[in-house]
Structure formats: C-alpha cells, structure tokens
Structure 1
Amino acid sequence: MNRDTFKNQWKELRVAGVTYSSLNEWLKIISKLKESGISDEEITNLLEDLAEEVSELNRKRE
C-alpha cells in the first residue's frame, strides 16, 4: 500500500471514530488469527459478519 492510500484510509477511519489503540488491538487479533492458520478469506468473512452484527445492533438502538 502506498503512502497516499494509507493516509486516505487512516483519515476515513479517524472520521469514523477509530482510535490508534483500537486499530492496533484489531491488528494484533488479526495477526494471531493468521498465525493460528486461519486463511485471509476466513478472517475477512469473520470481520464482515462482525461488522454486520454491529450494524444491526446500532440500528436496533436507534
């Protein structure tokens, strides 16, 4: 990933309220999953499912 792409993605995350420490924790978790042999596709699916569940919970709160 080039520097500009990284800067743009980080800016989007910051606008969404993501902190450096929370992002760092997620990256640690993803690294541990990869080290345990879980494929990139499986990790992506897990994260997509989690994001969907969080979105549903947020909708219910509104």
Structure 2
Amino acid sequence: MSRGTLTLVGDDTAKLAAALLAQNRAEHSYYDGPRRCSVWPQPADTPMPDTAPVTAEHFDG
C-alpha cells in the first residue's frame, strides 16, 4: 500500500517496523486486511527495488 524510505538511527528494526505498521494502519484505516513491513539496508546511490529483496526482514501486523 505504501512505499518509501527512512533512515534508521540505531539498529532497532522491530521498533521501526512497529511504528511504520501503526502509521500505515492510521493512514489507511479503510483497509482491514493484513499488513507487512519489510526492512533492509539500501545504499543511497542505488534504485529502490520493486519488491523487497530476499535479505529483508519482514514484520506482519
């Protein structure tokens, strides 16, 4: 539903994913289906892939 990039300060990906899932729930409250957040390192000088790479951490909420 949503797509974008954020810079993670520190290494708490689970906390970041929980915040992103909560934000997505608030911004897309009309949707009551499952949600997934994928987090992975992305070098600044490379294009964003269309789908999460196999190395991504996935968080469901």
Q: Which TM-score tier does this pair reach, normalised by the shorter chain? A: 0.3 to 0.5
Question: RCO (CA 8 Å, sep 6+): is it higher in 1 or 2?
Answer: 2
**Structure number having the greater helix percentage:** 1
TM-score, structure 2 length as denominator? 0.36
**Structure number having the greater strand percentage:** 2
TM-score, structure 1 length as denominator? 0.36
